[in-house]
Amino acid sequence: MLQPAIHACAQASEEAPAAPGQGISEISDDELSTMRGRYTVGDNTVAWFGVSMISTWQTATGQILESTMKVAMDFSQGNNTPKVTFTPTVNITRADAPDPTPAATAVASVAPAPTAPQTSSVAQTSGEPQRSVDASGLQNVSGLVQSVQVAGDANAATNNTQLTVREGTAPQTPAVSAPAGTTSVTDGAATASASYANGTAGVLLLIAGQGEVQQWIRNGSVGQSIQLTGDAQQISNRLQLDLVRQSVSNNLPLNQNVAQAITLARGIGPGTGQ
């Protein structure tokens, strides 16, 4: 007597429509908090970080000041302490001088570097129109800073910053690094210097009574500053930041793990290969 009843229940079960799906719904913060770090791939770490600063100043009389500094931080050794190299170049060319060889022109001196490039007010010398600029407040600004202050006529001043991020291997760094400190050259009222110490790097061009030009990178701040009180000056600041990330390994196990993680996170089916 039980067979007809069992047969009827089985037939009803086969004819009943499937329950509708829940669709896609947003995952709550509580649920996300239990998945923290679960599917993170750790092969995108920084392998190399480089900074190039070039500051050039041509005066109204044709004198040229140039300060160049390159800092490379190589993280490819596999630890959190990078190999740091510092390469400074400073040069001052007089208007009436022949084309110089940088190595013969720059007379380098090593001295303790300041903790950060200093910014002070610049004013004209006595007997000339009183002009002044003041960028001391830049010391309190974090992040990316670009400043141009001009109290003169017929000047040309540019600040240019470029950031390049790519994946690959770390470029070759110099085998020998210059010692930490300040490399500088002076000609009359003009000074060109490049410094690196205590994690702070910068370049400085200074002409007494005419102004000063700076670039720097330090903890929490990257900046370019131009201050002018003279006329017919041409100044260029160029800052290049290069970041190389370690390439993700192109192997099958890693690809399978990433694909499986994406599949599980979406909740749309089993892992790869199914």
pLDDT exceeds 90 at position 249: no
pLDDT tens readout for residues 196-231:
998 899 999 999 989 999 999 988 899 999 999 999
pLDDT tens readout for residues 30-42:
777 776 554 444 5
Q: List the structure tokens of 129.
A: 């129109």
- Supply the pLDDT for residue 116: 44
**pLDDT level of residue 148 (50, 70, 90 thresholds):** very high
Please give the sequence-ordered ranges of beta strands (E in DSSP) within 59-142, or none if there are none. 64-74, 83-93, 122-123, 132-133
Adjacent-strand bridge partners of 203: 194, 215
Average pLDDT value over all residues in the chain: 76
- Supply the pLDDT for residue 237: 98
Nearest Cα to 166, choosing from 270, 242, 96?
A: 242
- Supply the pLDDT for residue 146: 92
Higher per-residue confidence, 71 vs 132: 71
Q: Find the mean pLDDT for residues 133-138.
A: 74
- The single-letter code of the amino acid at 242 is D
